[in-house]
Chain A
Amino acid sequence: MADLLARWKTGLSKTGRATFGRLAGLFGASEITGETWDDLEAMLIQADLGVETTTEVLDSLKRTVRDEGLVRAADLRSALRNELRARLDDPPPLTWTEKPTIILLVGVNGSGKTTTAAKLAYRFVGEGKRVLFGAADTFRAAAMDQLQAWGERLGVPVVTGQKGGDPGAVAYNAVQAAVARGMDVVLVDTAGRLHTRYNLMEELKKVYRVVGKALPGAPHAVWLVLDATTGQNALRQARAFKEAVGVTGVILAKLDTSARGGMAFAIRRELGLPILFAGLGERMEDLQPFDPDAFVEGVLQEI
Chain B
Amino acid sequence: MFETLTERLNQIFTQLRRRGKLSAADVDAVLREVRLALLEADVHYSVVKDFLARLRERAVGAEVSRALNPAQQVVKIVHEELIATLGEPTSLALSGPKPRLILLVGLQGSGKTTTAGKLARLLRSRGERVALVAGDPYRPAAVEQLQQLGERIGVPVFAERDVAPPEAVARAFDAARKGGVSALIVDTAGRSQLDEELMDELRSIVARVSPVESLLVVDAMTGQEALHIAQGFRRAIPITGLILAKMDGDARGGAAISIRAVTGVPIKFLGTGEKLDALEVYDPRRLASRILGMGDVIGLIEKAEAAFAEDEEASRRQAERLLSGTFTLEDWLEQMRQIRKMGPIAHILDMLPGQLGQAARTVDPQEAEEQFKKAEAIISSMTVQERRNPDILNASRRRRIARGSGTQVQDVNRLVKQFREARRMFKKLRKSGGRDLSRLFR
Q: Interface of A with B (CB < 8 Å)?
A: 14-18, 20, 42, 45-48, 50-51, 108-112, 139-143, 145-146, 148-150, 153, 194-199, 202, 227, 229-234, 236-237, 240, 254, 256-260, 262-263, 282
Could you tell me the distance in whole angstroms from the C-beta of A301 to the nearest C-beta in chain B? 13
Q: For A142, give its contact among B141, B224, B249 (CB under 8 Å).
A: B141
Beyond A17-B228, A51-B39, is A108–B145 a contact (Cβ under 8 Å)?
no
Could you tell me the distance in whole angstroms from the C-beta of A120 to the nearest C-beta in chain B? 16
Q: For A232, give its contact among B42, B44, B248 (CB under 8 Å).
A: B42
Contact with A along B150-163 (1 / 0, CB 8 A): 00100000000000
Beyond A141-B148, A141-B149, A146-B140, is A198–B108 a contact (Cβ under 8 Å)?
no
Sample of 18 further A-B pairs with CB below 8 A, known A20-B46, A196-B249, A231-B224: A16-B232, A45-B45, A46-B44, A140-B145, A143-B141, A143-B145, A146-B145, A150-B140, A196-B248, A198-B361, A198-B363, A229-B229, A230-B219, A230-B222, A231-B255, A232-B41, A254-B192, A258-B228
Residues of B within 8 A of A233 (CB): 42, 221, 249-252
- B140 lies within 8 A of A231 (CB): no
Could you tell me the distance in whole angstroms from the C-beta of A257 to the nearest C-beta in chain B? 4
- A112 lies within 8 A of B144 (CB): no
- A111 lies within 8 A of B109 (CB): yes
Beyond A46-B44, A141-B148, is A231–B248 a contact (Cβ under 8 Å)?
no
Our count of residue pairs bridging A and B at CB distance below 8 angstroms stands at 159
- A110 lies within 8 A of B40 (CB): no
- B194 lies within 8 A of A16 (CB): yes
How many chain B residues touch the partner (CB < 8 A)?
55
- A145 lies within 8 A of B141 (CB): yes
A208, B301: Cα distance in complex, Å: 39
- A18 lies within 8 A of B254 (CB): no
- B246 lies within 8 A of A108 (CB): yes
Could you tell me the distance in whole angstroms from the C-beta of B410 to the nearest C-beta in chain A? 25
- A145 lies within 8 A of B144 (CB): yes
For residue B178, CB closer than 8 A to chain A, the reply is: no
A14, B195: Cα distance in complex, Å: 10
- B363 lies within 8 A of A258 (CB): no
Residues of B within 8 A of A199 (CB): 365
Q: For A45, give its contact among B39, B107, B147 (CB under 8 Å).
A: B39
- B250 lies within 8 A of A257 (CB): no
Pairs across A and B, CB under 8 Å, 21 listed: A14-B194, A42-B45, A46-B44, A46-B224, A47-B224, A51-B36, A108-B221, A109-B274, A110-B108, A111-B109, A141-B145, A143-B145, A145-B140, A146-B140, A150-B140, A195-B249, A199-B365, A231-B223, A231-B226, A233-B42, A257-B225
